[in-house]
Amino acid sequence: MFNRVVKHITCIKEKLNEITQHNRFLWDTLQPDIILRKNKKRIYEIPNIMTSSIFNDTYSEILSLINSKTNNLTNKLSDKDSIEIAETMCFRISQDPFSEYVFGAHINIRDKPNQLREQIDWIVKDVRSKYISQREKFNLNYMNQDSFRGVHRSGWQFVTDYMHILDSNNGVIMDTYLDRTFGWSSELLSKEGIIPYTSAWVGFIHHTANIEYSDYNCVNMINNKQFLQSLPTCVGLYVMSNYMKKWLSHKLKQLNYNILIEVLMHPTEIPKLIYTGKHHYNLINIGAWYRNPFTIYTIDTKYKKKALRGPRMDNYFPPSKIRITKADLLSGSNRGREAFCAISR
């Protein structure tokens, strides 16, 4: 075999050079993007600390070690055993053979073995935060995410525009609208090879678990095949309320995922001009999503009723030829809802 390699060394060099030139051409012309869109995705390994299984795997291993080394007479670990277990635990989490967490972990394992879950959880979160702060960058431009630019005043684009100071093509993928990605755009993005995500990613969830208002809800999202296949490389999720954090955390734990979830209250801007119409009061209906546009008609008030109509909001307003009276809405508990459904269809 060696003699054959020597004999054909010139041909081998030429072939390798040809491959190098071809790869350089592919890179310069963004051909890897085309490969991705054809679903020929390469799975990139993510650091051990950023995997969703790190907590459960470490807990199971360390609990087994503690039980195997506990003195049956005193029901307590020796210093030697607790140090050895602490070193193993900290290495599993941080991959650091001389971890800064070992001393504290050794004391806690020896004196508070019943708090093992809390110990592991604290170390995992601390190591993760340090890993993320070292990278500090997110990849926001792996696809165009300006889906609703100009639709809302101080809307989501108001937020994401500021995020671009953290943008890097080498950063962790940041999906700013998971409801879109694994909702109405799921089939297209799957066909184009964008999802499922196979490298480290974080994402924002805007919708709720309410299943009556729209099919694009969180219940359907967490059952989406592409979403489930993306979870192994997810390193963090953002939701818009404490309720959604609690709900999502429970659902993910049922799927054996311990993913970091943070609450972000939707930022907005403070207007420079304060309302000055002291003698011109109005009852104003603002927004559309998750609202019942007929509620304002049922309110008995002397003030003039108005509704702010923005881009892409036609479905939330009755056709101009339809006249809705208060009697229509109050004549039956479901009358308004039926009218709304008929108009929406």
Residue 287 has pLDDT above 70, yes or no: yes
Residue 1 has pLDDT above 90, yes or no: no
Residues 314-343, mean pLDDT to the nearest whole number: 60
Q: Is residue 106 part of a domain?
A: yes
Same domain, 244 and 154: yes
Cis before 196? omega within 30: yes
Which tokens hold the place of 223? 């059952």
Same domain, 150 and 247: yes
Average pLDDT over all residues of the chain: 79
Residue 333 has pLDDT above 60, yes or no: no
Q: Is residue 240 part of a domain?
A: yes
Instruction: Give the range of the structural domain holding residue 294, as residue numbers without chain letter.
Output: 282-344
Same domain, 147 and 102: no
Q: Is residue 119 part of a domain?
A: yes
Same domain, 129 and 11: no
| Mean pLDDT lowest among 98-102, 154-158, 213-217 | 154-158
What pLDDT, on a 0 to 100 scale, did the predictor assign at position 337? 45
Same domain, 183 and 92: no
Convert the pLDDT of each residue in 179-204 to its tens digit: 999 999 999 999 888 899 988 899 99
Percent of the chain with pLDDT over 70: 76
Same domain, 182 and 249: yes
Convert the pLDDT of each residue in 242-280 to its tens digit: 999 999 999 999 999 989 999 988 777 777 777 666 677
Same domain, 126 and 155: no
What pLDDT, on a 0 to 100 scale, did the predictor assign at position 97? 86
Boundary-marking domain end, from 133, 152, 168: 133
Phi-psi region of 191 (alpha: psi -120 to 50; beta: other; left: phi over 0): alpha
Q: Are 203 and 237 in contact (CB under 8 A)?
A: yes
Residues 57-64, mean pLDDT to the nearest whole number: 91
Convert the pLDDT of each residue in 99-114 to its tens digit: 999 999 999 999 999 9
Residue 168 has pLDDT above 80, yes or no: no
Residues 24-42, mean pLDDT to the nearest whole number: 54
Provide the number of structural domains found in the chain: 4
Residue 25 confidence class, pLDDT cut points 50, 70, 90: low
Q: Write down the pTM of the prediction.
A: 0.54
Same domain, 10 and 122: no
Same domain, 174 and 159: yes
Residue 42 has pLDDT above 50, yes or no: no
